[in-house]
Every structure is written in C-alpha cells, then in structure tokens.
Homo-oligomer: A and B are copies of this chain.
Amino acid sequence: MASATALIALDWGTSSLRAYRLGANGAVLDKRALPWGIMNLPVVEASATGAKAGFDQAFEEACGDWLRDAPGVPVMAAGMVGSAQGWREAAYLDVPLRVADIGAGLTAVPTRNGAVLHIVPGLIERGELPNVMRGEETQVAGALEDGAAGELLIGLPGTHSKWVRIDGERFSHFDTFMTGEAYAALSGHTILGRTMERGAPFDAAAFERGARVALGHAGINGVLSTIFSTRTLGLTGALDGAAQADYLSGLLIGHEIAALRTGRAAAGLIATPRIVLIGDGRLCERYKDALALYGYTNVAIAAQATERGLWRIALQAGLVRAD
C-alpha cells in the first residue's frame, strides 16, 4: 500500500519542531509544523513527572496519532533535541567521517507513549577552534547523491551558517560563520540600526554593493571596520536609510564568502567547487548571487534536504529498507 507509513521523521530544533510522515522510499505523505522547539516546549500539567515531560508532550502532539495508526513504525529526530539541553544528549561523532556512518551513532530514547525515538548525533571537528553542528549533518546527508565522487561544498546559510566539505562520501571539514546572528545583533543593537528604515522591499543593488566590499581593497580592514560604512555612507548621502539593511546583509555575507575562499586557498583547494545550498529559499538566492561575485557559479539549491536526510540515515541504521 503506497500510503503506508514507513518512518516518522522529526526535525527538532531550538525554536521549532517539524514532523514528517514518510512512506515507501521516503515519499512525504504528511507533514506538520509545531512551535515546540527545545527552548519553547509546551507547559505540562503538574501531574506529569520528570524534567523531560515537555518533550513527551510535544512528541505526542507531533506524531502520537500517526504512531497509533501505524504501531511499531520507527521514529527518528535530528537537531538540537540531541544536545545537552535537549531530550537526551546524542554524543557528537568526529569529523572526518563517512556519511554512511552517521546511522550507526543513533541514540534511543523511550517515550511515554511506548515508542522509541532515535536521535541523530551531531558532528564535531576538534582542533584549536572546535566546530559543532546538530541537524545540518542530516540535511547534508539529504542533499548528497548516491555514489557521488570528488569534492562538493555544501552551504547552509542562516543564523549560524555552516560550510561543509564533502570529499567523495566523507565529511572532511566544516566551518561555522555566525553571519545571521551577527547581522541581527548589529542591526538591532548598535548605532547601525538607528538610521536603517525597516520594511523596505529587498534592494538587490544595495545587497550587491555590500557583498562586493570584501572583494576589493576596501575590505582589507575586515568586517569590524567595514560595517561602519553602513553609517558613513548614510552620513555622506551615498546610501539611503531604506538600503542600509540590505547593504549590511551583503557586506557580512561577502566577508563570509571571502573568508571561505581564503581558507580554501590556504588549504590548497584551488579548483572551483560544485556548491549546493540548503535552507530558506530567499536567503539561498542571496547567497547564490553573492557567491557569483566571488567566482563561484556552479551553485545548486537543494530541496527537501531534511526529510531526505532522515530517510537516508534511517536506511543506514536499518530502521527502514529501500523497496
């Protein structure tokens, strides 16, 4: 039966919870979005016991009915639900790592309604400045094609942008840039926000102007310096208030891409990589435009990476099987 549930897959982050009912070969049969991120769990009645009762309540709301309709169906989750502040800590796996090995690291959590939730581990790359991810490893797995060879660079723009280098079938390296959160903090809590006129439509020219700064000589002083131009270009009449937010956005994203390029050169990676972007569609388009300025033109945008990744990892773990 084509509509039989094969897997319940949860994307459970800090601020939201998405639930997918997947059928044969991972086809999406149903999906839901709930506000129950791990920092925003439902308040449970006083009789519920245990510090983790909010997780059980959210889990029940996300997929209790699906589980009753398909008893014994496997359930998986990826994201911050596996962090120290989550339902159960799912220990990090170390990068470098074969993509196929993620499924061997799942953490099982018994739930109040009798199911077992399998939580995907995050990844860590140790070193002088360690890097971590939770949830993105699953999206990356979902964006990969089977049997792909060579280098692939996967970008996950957002609050904390991740850039993941895949070599053949391995995670070989990743970086984090706090671009989205820095943008919010700078535009919301520094003098730069004071002259920004909010709510203007996206100004592509201002975004590109900002994104070009780190390309040229003017970017040499780095982002702590160039951001001040958001204000001084306003003072000198060269940048309208309505254009300043998109200029700053372009400026930060340009510095991110410039640093990525510098880091690649320092690592001896000369060839222009194939790039796949995962994330919010409009943000991915901005990154695609900025990447083109820096010579990165082989850029695709992945769809349904999270649910595909959860399916792929469930296959690895033997929780489901391919038809």
Residues of A within 8 A of B (CB): 84, 124, 126-132, 160, 175-179, 181-182, 184-186, 188-192, 213, 216-218, 220-229, 232-233, 235-236, 238, 252, 255-256, 258-260, 262-263, 266
Point out the residues of chain B lying under 8 angstroms from A176, CB to CB. 225, 228
Question: Which of B131, B177, B238, B262 is within 8 Å of A224, CB to CB?
Answer: B177
Alpha-carbon distance between A190 and B185 when the two chains are bound, in angstroms: 7
Q: Is the CB of B266 within 8 A of A225?
A: no
Contact B221 A223 (CB under 8 A): no
A70 to B298, CA, bound (A): 74
- Once the chains bind, are B177 and A221 in contact (CB under 8 Å)? yes
Chain B nearest Cβ from A132, distance in angstroms = 6
Q: Are A220 and B262 in contact (CB under 8 A)?
A: yes
| Closest residue on chain B to residue A224 by CB atoms | B177
Main secondary structure of the interface of A (DSSP, over half): helix
Interface centre among A129, A227, A232, A255, by most B CB within 10 Å?
A: A129
**B residues less than 8 Å from A126 (CB atoms):** 236
Knowing A129-B233, A233-B130, A266-B217 touch, does A224 contact B259 (C-beta < 8 A)? yes
**A186 vs B220: C-alpha distance in the bound complex, in angstroms?**
22
A126 to B192, CA, bound (A): 19
Q: A129-B218, A223-B223 are in contact. List 10 more A-B contacts (CB 8 A).
A: A129-B233, A181-B191, A185-B189, A189-B189, A217-B266, A220-B259, A220-B262, A220-B266, A223-B224, A224-B256
CB distance from A15 to the nearest CB of B (A): 12
- Complex alpha-carbon distance, A190 and B188, angstroms: 11
Rounded to whole Å, the gap between the CB of A217 and the closest CB of chain B is 7
A189 to chain B, nearest CB (A): 4
List of B residues within 8 angstroms of A181 by Cβ:
190-191
Nearest CB of B to A210, in Å: 11
Q: Within 8 Å CB of A255, what residues of B?
A: 222, 224
Q: Tell me, rounded to whole Å, the shortest Cβ–Cβ distance linking A161 to chain B.
A: 8
Nearest-neighbour CB distance to chain B for A242, whole angstroms, equals 19
Q: Is the CB of A263 within 8 A of B131?
A: no
Known: A186-B185, A220-B263, A223-B223. A178 touches B228 (CB 8 A): yes
- Residue A130 contacts which of B160, B178, B236 (CB distance < 8 angstroms)? B236
Residue contacts A-B, CB under 8 angstroms, 16 given: A127-B218, A129-B229, A129-B233, A130-B233, A131-B232, A132-B232, A178-B224, A178-B227, A181-B190, A185-B188, A185-B189, A188-B189, A220-B262, A220-B263, A224-B252, A224-B259
